[in-house]
Amino acid sequence: MPETENAAAPRRTRDPRATRERILAMAHEEFATRGYDGARIDSIVARCKISKNLLYHYFADKEKLFIEVMERAYGAMRERQNELALSGEDPVADMRTLIVQTIQHFIERPDFIQLLAAENLYKASHIKKSETITEMFNPLRSALNNILEKGKQKGVFRQDANWIDLYVSISGLGSYAISNRYTLSYVLGVDLGTAERTASRLRHVPDMVMSYLCDLGGPKAGG
């Protein structure tokens, strides 16, 4: 006998994949908006128009639902990185492309920053239980490190540059103006969410990072 999503609603055959995707989409919004503690399963099922029992049929509990939401969020970043057309011949151009696309992802997905903030309150205790997040992050890690090493070999990047410090700086410079948009906009007297300000950040941050990377430590003026 075909299963239905809600006994009170007209009977209809359930599409398991579509139902699962809808739950994850609504859960993503709930967790990003309210954090892990504030998110409510009742709110998610109400927005999905399904029963709580059906949600628990797909996800054992709130924590497992949150972990899968985080896996999908990291997966979206991996998909963007996989779409990059990096030639491998010009490390300077490749690095700039990687920086711009990383920042662009934060701009287009501020909800990802909100999810990260929520998980950091738990010191990453939930995502540590994931079997896939580290694996999903590895391509970005490898791409950044490979471009950096090629630039060092060609003598266009400083030899003491470290990929971990580099990624932290790119992420910090790319996300801070988004995660603190409203307070910064108020105290600075500007709207950091305008198209003009966003475009400015997309130019400014790569220029800053590349200025550091391409500073080969030569003689300084007056030195």
Alpha carbons 73 and 83: distance in angstroms, whole number: 16
Are 95 and 147 in contact by the 8 Å Cβ rule? The answer is: yes
Kindly report the number of other CB atoms within 10 A of residue 53's CB atom: 9
The two structure tokens encoding residue 164? 């971990």
Q: Select from 172, 197, 163 the least CA-distant residue to 103.
A: 172
Indicate whether 220 pLDDT > 90. no
pLDDT averaged over every residue in the chain: 90
Q: Both tokens of residue 201? A: 């950040």
Give the pLDDT score at 217: 67
pLDDT digits 0-9 by tens, 29-48: 999 999 999 999 999 999 99
pLDDT of residue 115 exceeding 60: yes
Give CA–CA dist 71/116, Å, rounded.
11
- Please tell us whether the domain made up of 12-59 is placed in CATH 1.10.10.60: yes
Task: Place 7 in a pLDDT band, splitting at 50, 70 and 90.
Answer: very low
Residues contacting residue 109 through CB under 8 Å, at least 6 positions apart: 73, 76
Q: Which residues contact 190 (CB under 8 A, 6 or more apart)?
A: 197
Residues forming CATH 1.10.10.60 domain(s) in the chain: 12-59
pLDDT at 96 > cutoff 90:
yes
CATH 1.10.357.10 residue ranges of the chain are 62-213
* Domain 62-213 class in CATH: mainly alpha
Average pLDDT over residues 150-174: 95
> Which residue has tokens 């029963």?
51
- In whole angstroms, what is the distance from residue 87 CA to residue 75 CA? 23
Counting residues of the chain whose pLDDT is more than 70, the rounded percentage is 91
Torsion of CA 210, 214, 217, 222, to 10 degrees: -70
Instruction: Give mean pLDDT, residues 108-113.
Output: 95
Model pLDDT for residues 131-152, shown as the tens digit of each residue:
999 988 888 888 899 999 999 9
pLDDT band at 1 (very low <50, low <70, confident <90, very high): very low
